[in-house]
Amino acid sequence: MADVTLSRWRKFGFDRLYVNASDGARVGWVDLRTGEVSKDNAAAWQPDLDAAIDAWCAEQGINLPPSTSSSPSPPPPPPPAADRLAPEIVPGSPPVQARPQGNGRLRRPGKDLAKNKPGAAVKAAAKERMTWWSRLKSLFGIETPSSSWDAGYEGECKVARTVWIMRLFGWRVLHSVPVGSRGADIDHLLIGPGGVVTVNTKHHRGAKVTAGRTKVLVNGQPTQYAAKSTFEASRTADVLTSALGRPVDVEAIIVIVGARNVRNGSTAGIDVLTRADLPFWLLGRRGRLNREQRRELFEIARRSTTWQPA
């Protein structure tokens, strides 16, 4: 048998046995619940690999459906051309449109999220909440509810300028990624050699920010930034895992903008950084995704239908 490793992965409702080559490249996987087989690299899936999978399952006490314990049989040949039903063509009728395949639903391509501007979601929210009274007060320098939205927009734009240079090191970024149907969004989603990272940007002009053990403190007041970032990363991993068909690990970080004093550290497993720290943090993370894996993940992540399925 080829030099491969078998590793079981159970998360987000999946239970799969992944087959990887010695260099870490994905060969394929077997769903231990449904028996579905996916051969990512058919050339590397040698015949004796099925026997090795059967032996592993027997050792673990797992009974795979018979249809997947061996190589799947080829599909039956298509019927002769004469037996196929052709659509009736009536003179003068419009051309016959191709029907969607699969379950019959025509999926729209959706929006390309790579075109999103940084802070787009925050800016739109601020515009919706702007009234003539708040506009008047802002002209006189009076704080309004939209002031915090404006600060958030400014912070996301600054972080976007910082991560732009990271493209030279293989990192790609999506801004203002909308998730679900309730207005939630990811400030920045980074995909690069160091893996997949969600960035939660917080703009606190002139404040003192401390990375506590369980909460991030702003001027001594506890926040929910770490809990929100943890949920954001978990949700992102769930979405990308479902869309890609194999596990995707996602790490969350919090980037502080405009603060007078920032005590960096880790809060509940989430790294708290300044904008100046961000490039060095990213450069320190390498060897997690190769170029092909990054390309595949980015192409999936940039589709709005990945995050907001029809």
Highest mean pLDDT of the ranges 29-43, 98-112, 271-285: 271-285
Where does the pLDDT of residue 256 fall: very low under 50, low under 70, confident under 90, or very high at 90 and above?
very high
Q: Which of 54-63, 215-224, 233-242, 250-259 has the lowest mean pLDDT?
A: 54-63
Q: What is the pLDDT of residue 310?
A: 58
Helix axes 132-139, 145-164, angle to 10 degrees: 70
pLDDT tens-place string over residues 92-130: 444 434 334 334 333 445 789 999 988 776 555 555 555
- Taking residue 201's Cβ as centre, other Cβ atoms within 10 Å add up to 25
- Global pTM exceeds 0.75: no
Residue 159 tokens, joined = 């972080």
Would you say 252 and 229 are in contact if contact means Cβ atoms under 8 Å apart? Answer: yes
Q: What is the pLDDT of residue 78?
A: 46
Closest CA to 259 of 190, 222, 200, 209: 209
Q: What is the pLDDT of residue 295?
A: 94
Collapsed DSSP state (helix, strand, coil) of residue 25: coil
User: In whole numbers, what is the pLDDT of the chain averaged over residues?
Assistant: 77
- Taking residue 180's Cβ as centre, other Cβ atoms within 10 Å add up to 12
Instruction: Name which residue leads in pLDDT, 297 or 122.
Output: 297
β-pairing, 250-257 vs 195-203, is parallel
Q: What is the pLDDT of residue 194?
A: 95
CA dist., res. 54 & res. 213, Å (int): 46
Tracing tokens 């040949």 back to the chain, one arrives at 77
User: Could you give the percent of the chain with pLDDT greater than 90?
Assistant: 43
Kindly tell me if the per-residue pLDDT of 48 is higher than 60.
yes
The count of residues in the chain is 310
Q: What is the pLDDT of residue 266?
A: 94
Q: Which helix (H) or strand (E) holds 305?
A: helix 304-307
The type of residue at 249 is D
Average pLDDT over residues 239-268: 93
Kindly tell me if the per-residue pLDDT of 251 is higher than 90.
yes
Helix axes 291-301, 225-244, angle to 10 degrees: 100
Which CA distances in Å does 296 have to 10, 143, 175, 236? 22, 44, 18, 15
Kindly tell me if the per-residue pLDDT of 209 is higher than 90.
yes
Kindly tell me if the per-residue pLDDT of 148 is higher than 80.
no
Average pLDDT over residues 11-32: 76
CA dist., res. 296 & res. 229, Å (int): 24
